[in-house]
Amino acid sequence: MLKFIQNMGMKKAVIIFAIFSVFMGCSLWPWGKRSPYSKEELARIADKEVYIIDGERYIKVPAENERGFRYVKVDEYLAGKVTPLPLRYAPREKGEEKGGRSGWERAKETPPPPLRKKAFTLPSYPSPPYLKRKIAIFPFQEKTTAVSLSGGEVARMLAATLMRRAPSVQVIDYEVVKKTLEKLPKRGRPKEELKGLGRALGVQAVIMGEMYGPFEFSIKEGDEEKKVCYVELRLRMFDTIMGKLIGEYKLTNPLLKAEGGAEQAVAVAVEEGVKELKKVIERMGWYSRVALVEGDVIYLLAGSLSGLKEGDVLEVYSPDNLRRPKGQVRIIKLFGIDSSMAEKVKGEGIKEADLVRFPSGA
């Protein structure tokens, strides 16, 4: 009997806690902290899309000109400083029929995923500092409903900034990358496509990413109100030997530097984040690939643009065994934009898609 009473006491405590939680639930903020707002204020924003932008809470409302959206602080909205347009004025998405769902009724946009802490550790190869590593950058996926810059434009801005800030980087034109992908035998398999780009173009790494924003909104400085723009770019870099993730990176423009439009916001974000990308790429060391073997003559996917010179001696490795070289080749001729011809110095079994790099101690 005593045991039964004790069990009933425990159950009663659980029930009381559950009831207490229900009554308290209405005063809890969705992010797990006690809300700074009253029940009436929470009711006013219950059906609104709330975003965390650089640590501040914002609500998404249609812009005054009925084109696109703007983001206003929750406190300003609750204070009556901003009144969103009625639903009938909300802009419709392109292609939607009259009476269909409007942009204001769209589902909440996907939040940025958390960055992974662990990633593939890429071995570092010795190489002269003047050599250029080939990188491919894919168009960014647009993760917001209203964007003023396309994912392709953002990718081109990143490529231009990376080559300007990192002389050791050579970004392959995406049209060349796209045509190469179309010819690969294992299309639709991400890891195999990454490896295929490495074999076909001599690309060392591939950068993919998502774009959140640009978010345009207003902030107050004293009595003045200024319009700013915030963007967040999530990048993932993959190697092309094993097709594995090298690292993930978040690029944003601080609100203190957020004045201007969408293009300025992306430019600042890229300029701020490209330093880390440069360090990672340079730690890879340099290597290229064998394009073709004809007897003792080996054609390489690197030449004068990559920084090779006639007389350079390179070691040859199988992609499956990066510890033991299978031979050596010497550059005898540079041709085309970025190709070269080499002669075999020693070794056997050199074949297409093998890696070539400078010997240890070079």
DSSP letters for 12-53: HHHHHHHHHHHHHHTTB-TTSSB-SS-HHHHHHHTTS-EEEE
Residue 113 in domain: no
* Phi, psi of 69, deg, nearest 5: -135, 165
Tell whether 176 and 259 lie within a shared domain. Answer: yes
**Lowest mean pLDDT segment, chosen from 24-38, 289-303, 317-331:** 24-38
Torsion of CA 159, 162, 164, 168, to 10 degrees: -120
Is the pLDDT reported for residue 297 higher than 90?
yes
Confidence (pLDDT) at 39: 66
Q: Tell whether 120 is covered by a domain.
A: no
Q: Please indicate, yes or no, whether residues 50 and 31 belong to a single structural domain of this protein.
A: no
Query: Between 218 and 272, whose confidence is greater?
Result: 272
Structural domain contains residue 117: no
* Residue-level pLDDT at 112: 58
Rounded Cα–Cα distance for residues 206 and 286 (Å): 15
Same domain, 240 and 303: no
Q: Which residues of 15-34 are buried (b: 16+ CB within 10 A; e: fewer)?
A: eeeeeeeeeeeeeeeeeeee
Average pLDDT in the chain:
76
Q: Is 98 in the same domain as 143?
A: no
Residue 161 in any domain: the answer is: yes
Q: Collect all residues with Cβ–Cβ distance below 8 Å to 76 and sequence separation of at least 6.
A: 82
Domain boundary among the residues 244, 262, 283 is at 283
In our burial notation (b when 16+ CB lie closer than 10 A, e otherwise), range 307-336 reads bbeeebebbbbeeeeeeebbbbbebeebee
The residue written with tokens 């001599």 in the block is: 202
Q: Which residue has the higher pLDDT, 362 or 84?
A: 362
Q: Which is more confident, 32 or 274?
A: 274
Please check whether residues 141 and 78 belong to one and the same domain: no
Domain presence at residue 59? yes
The pTM score is: 0.69
| Whole-number pLDDT of residue 330 | 97
Based on the domain organization, do 66 and 85 belong to the same domain?
A: yes
Q: Average pLDDT of 312-332?
A: 94
* Domain match, 58 and 166 both: no
- Report for 50-59, 123-132, 174-183: range of highest mean pLDDT: 174-183
Residue 123 forms part of a structural domain: no
Counted domains in the chain: 4
Q: Is residue 29 part of a domain?
A: yes
Do 298 and 270 reside in the same domain of the chain? no
Determine which of 15-29, 53-67, 169-183, 195-209 has the lowest per-residue pLDDT on average.
15-29
Closest CA to 261 of 211, 223, 209, 226: 226
Same structural domain for residues 233 and 151? yes
Q: Is residue 234 part of a domain?
A: yes
Task: Compute the CA torsion angle 11, 12, 15, 21 (nearest 10 deg).
Answer: -120
Q: What interhelical angle do 174-183 and 190-201 show, nearest 10?
A: 110
Domain around 197: 133-283
Confidence of residue 304 (pLDDT cuts 50, 70, 90): very high
Residue 286: what pLDDT?
93
The answer to whether residues 180 and 264 belong to one domain is: yes
Whether 22 and 76 share a structural domain: no
Are 225 and 248 part of one and the same domain?
A: yes
At position 42, the amino acid (one-letter code) is L
What's the pLDDT score for residue 100? Answer: 34
